[in-house]
Each structure stands twice: as structure tokens, then as C-alpha cells.
Amino acid sequence: MKKYFFILLAIFLTFQTQAQNYNLLIGTYTNKGNSEGIYVYSYNGLTAETSLKSIAKNVVNPSYLAVSGNKKFVYSVNEDGKNSAVSAFSFNSQSGDLSFLNKKSSEGADPCYIAIDDKNVILANYSGGTISVFGRNADGSLSDAKQIIQHTGRSIDPKKRQESAHVHQVQFTPDHKYLISNDLGEDLIYIYNYNAASIDKILTIKIVIKTNAGTGPRHLVFSPNGKFAYLAHEFNGNITAFSYANGNLKKLHEIATVPKDFTGKIDGADIHISPDGKFLYETNRGDANTIAVFSILPTGILKFIERVSTLGKGPRNFAIDPSGNHVLVAHQYTNDVVIFNRNKITGTLKDSSKRISVGVPVCLIFSK
């Protein structure tokens, strides 16, 4: 009887370990260091152990990535000024191999974010100030652009980062009826109606929301229950909390992520919520290089918990692994990914001492 117990225990533990295995895709800049392209690692959610599976080489500046819902395709921006593009790859989730399918002009300089569903691939083009929509063909390749929307405004930043529109993010609302676009250059949030099947009117404007002038809205994240949204501002590092319903955002409050006496450059970067919806995390770059932790109250209000060093320079992007056990922070200027252990009860972070050494990492995406 004892023998069978240990056999069953071994099978259970093996299953548990396999269930915690993920692919970790890392997007990089290939023109600013020693990166070779898109890196795919195996990742264990229990131990945070990683091993390199593949590298997709000869990809220009794949600084933001997205994986299709069926895990068969990967889409990458090619952030390259006027020569910017978007690329499609088939993806073997077992081997981690990426096979190039095709590439299209991004229809706007320096794309920095991708939103995808079964029908379309949508880009935020930062320098160009445009949103471009591409269809997905049956084989995963990209169609020609179906729609291009040009933002034209500006705002008040004295350092000239707001002399024109800079679309920094595009993402679907939880109900998938709308697309939200944060424009850092205009200090505006655009909410578009989303008609996936339309030929050339996929996006039509619903409402435009003003944010505080000179703050630079960058990334927005929705709570898992779809009731709340949180916007990270690049210039001052503040987070604005909203309630969300039916394509509308209603401001709840705003909270700082740096101490009141902090006088250095902040450069707010990325923002994510834990899988259980209880904790929010936000990174700052510049002179800060910190990650701030907040608990999310039932009302959607944020309560500060702690602020810790990211243990590197330039934490442009980070990811909470699907298990919720770890937080991985990609450092653009110290060429590494720092892995933190995450306390699921308190939300607090502690250095795991595990690192991934990779050239100029700027995007982390988990996938099965």
C-alpha cells in the first residue's frame, strides 16, 4: 500500500511540475547592445528556473511582442524609425521555435505596443502618433493595413516630449467591445468602439478622456474582474484608478509611486496586477529604478504597501508569472532580468537571487 502511495505521489508531483511550465518570450533592442533577436526560455513557475529554448535571429528591434490566443503565432513590432514594421511568426510552443511568416510596414514610426485577437493585430505607433490595424490571415500572416488612425494633438511637457501625439498603448477592454489607446503626447485616453469584422471601420471613436496635463499617460491595466482600471503616468509616476463599465472610465483617485521628497527623474514604465486581483505593481526608471506595490481594496482604491529597488537600471517592462509566485523585471540598461519571489498573502517582494542574462531586454511575455 505504501508503495502505491509513493507512486501516486510521484505522479502528482510530476503533473504539478509540468502544469507550472511556461514559455517566457523576451523582446529586445538589437541595435543597442548584444541582443540577437527574440529569446524564448522555458520557465518553471514553482522554482523560477529558466533555460534557453530558442532565439529568433535577424529580427530588427522586437521591442514588444504578443502571442495569439491559440499559442500558434507570435507578433512583434520592429521599432526602427521611419522603417518600422510589424512581423508575424508561427510558434512551436514545445520547441520554442519561431518561424518568420511575413512583415508589413507599421504605418507609423516606432511601434511600441500590440493588441491582438482572432481577427486583427493593432499597433500603437509612438513617434508616428498613429494606430494601425492589420488583419490576420488563416495562416497567421498579416494582411495589408485595414485602417490607420492619426492622432494630431499635443500637450504641455516642457522637455518637448509632448510637441506631437505619441500613442503608447492599445488594448481591448475586458468585454472586448472597445479598444483603449493612451496617448502620452496629448495627455489623452481614447476609447474606440471595436468592430472586428468591419472592412475599414474597425475602430470608431466613442469618447476621449483628458488626464492631468503634463503627466504622460503610458500603460493601463484592468483588474481581473473587469471592474477597475489603473493608469500609469510616465512623467510623474502617478497611478490613476478608475472604475470601468460599458466603455466608460470614471476616476476614483490618484496615488504617487515615489516618495514626496524624491527629486530625480521618474520615468514611470509598466503596471500589472497579480492573477488573484489583490495586488498592483508599477515600475519607475530614470533615477528611481524601483517597483511599487499596492493592495487593491474592494472599492478599487489602492493602498501603498512597499517600494523596493528593482536591482538594475531601466526596468522598462516586467511580468508576474501565471502562477503568481514570482515577478520578473527586465532591465534595459543592465542587460538582465531580475526574478523576485512574491508573497501571495502580503504582495511583498524578495530577491530570489535568480537572473536571466540577456542583451537589452524590454518586453516579457508568458505563454503555455
* 8 A C-beta contact, residue 50 and residue 42: yes
* 8 A C-beta contact, residue 145 and residue 177: no
Summarize the confidence of residues 37-61 as an average pLDDT: 97
- CA pair distance 153, 155, nearest whole angstrom: 7
- CA pair distance 321, 85, nearest whole angstrom: 29
pLDDT band at 158 (very low <50, low <70, confident <90, very high): confident
pLDDT value at residue 19? 67
pLDDT value at residue 8? 45
Domain residue spans in the chain?
98-212
Encoded amino acid at 142, one letter: L
* 8 A C-beta contact, residue 305 and residue 294: yes
Q: Average pLDDT over the chain, rounded to whole? A: 95
| pLDDT of 16 strictly over 90 | no
- CA pair distance 361, 355, nearest whole angstrom: 12
* b/e per residue 259-280 (b: at least 16 CB within 10 A): eeebeeebbbbbbbbbeeebbb
| pLDDT of 7 strictly over 80 | no
* 8 A C-beta contact, residue 129 and residue 167: yes
| pLDDT of 205 strictly over 50 | yes
Summarize the confidence of residues 194-216 as an average pLDDT: 97
Q: What is the pLDDT of residues 347-358, one digit of tens each?
A: 999 999 999 999
* CA-based nearest residue to 75, from 109, 114, 41: 114
Summarize the confidence of residues 12-25 as an average pLDDT: 69
| pLDDT of 18 strictly over 90 | no
Q: What is the pLDDT of residues 54-65, one digit of tens each?
A: 999 999 999 999
* 8 A C-beta contact, residue 268 and residue 257: yes
| pLDDT of 176 strictly over 90 | yes
pLDDT band at 209 (very low <50, low <70, confident <90, very high): very high
* 8 A C-beta contact, residue 157 and residue 216: yes
| pLDDT of 11 strictly over 50 | no
pLDDT value at residue 20? 87
pLDDT band at 315 (very low <50, low <70, confident <90, very high): very high
pLDDT value at residue 207? 98
| 98-212 has CATH 2.130.10.10 classification | yes
CA dihedral angle for residue 280, residue 281, residue 284, residue 285, rounded to 10 degrees: -150
